[in-house]
Every structure is written in C-alpha cells, then in structure tokens.
Amino acid sequence: AQKVTQAQTEISVVEKEDVTLDCVYETRDTTYYLFWYKQPPSGELVFLIRRNSFDEQNEISGRYSWNFQKSTSSFNFTITASQVVDSAVYFCALSEGFGLVFGAGTILRVKS
C-alpha cells in the first residue's frame, strides 16, 4: 500500500533562514504523482506543486524549490529566505488510484 512519511513534525526557523521539509514515499506503482500542499492557519489546503514519476528534474518557483529523487523515494521541499508568511502546515501527498495519500504534515514556524 502507498505510504507517505514526513518525519519532521515541527520545524522552527528565524526569518531569512533556508529550510528543507522532507518527504519519503512508498509505492509499488511505476506511474504515480507527488504533490505538496500548504495549509495556513485559515485551514484551506493550497496546492503548491505536482510531479509525475517520470520527471525527476528539480523545479524552482521563486523562493520554493523541490528535489525529487526516485532512487531514494524522496520529494523534498526547500524554502529559501523564509518569511513569516510561510508559517503553515505543509503536506506531501502521493496519488493512489483515485484519492491522495497524505503524510502527517510538517508544522513550519517562521519567527521574525
């Protein structure tokens, strides 16, 4: 069965520090999709990125970057120069048939 592990329960950083959120997944599928979502205090899940299993190219979007390594089944997320507004819970998710399997999430606290 599919599984997503986010080993970091909570991370605290000071503004402008870089921070990496880890995600490790398990699947027997050869074709699958990985996602990152952000859940700010307001509660609504906000989509950040979707990657398919055939595309291992790293991606950068502004201060956000993602490192997908199939060999280690990891899909890590780095925020460069963190800001207070980045404080939220971040979820990594894996496609499973129709639904998504989510990790338990990492709470990121960015202090000014």
What whole-number distance in Å separates Cα of residue 16 and Cα of residue 26? Answer: 33
Least separation in angstroms between CB 72 and other proteins: 21
17 or 96: CB nearest other proteins? 96
111 sits near other proteins (criterion: CB under 8 A): no
Residues from 23 through 82 that contact other proteins (CB under 8 A):
33, 35, 37, 42-47, 50, 52
Least separation in angstroms between CB 31 and other proteins: 8
DSSP state of 41: T
Residues from 89 through 108 that contact other proteins (CB under 8 A):
91, 93, 95-105
- Could you please report the per-residue DSSP string of 56-80? ---EEETTEEEEEEGGGTEEEEEES
* Beta strands in the chain, from DSSP E residues, in sequence order: 3-5, 10-14, 19-21, 24-26, 33-39, 46-52, 59-61, 64-69, 74-79, 88-96, 99-102, 106-111
Least separation in angstroms between CB 55 and other proteins: 13
11 sits near other proteins (criterion: CB under 8 A): no
Residues of this chain that bind other proteins (CB under 8 A): 4, 33, 35, 37, 42-47, 50, 52, 91, 93, 95-105
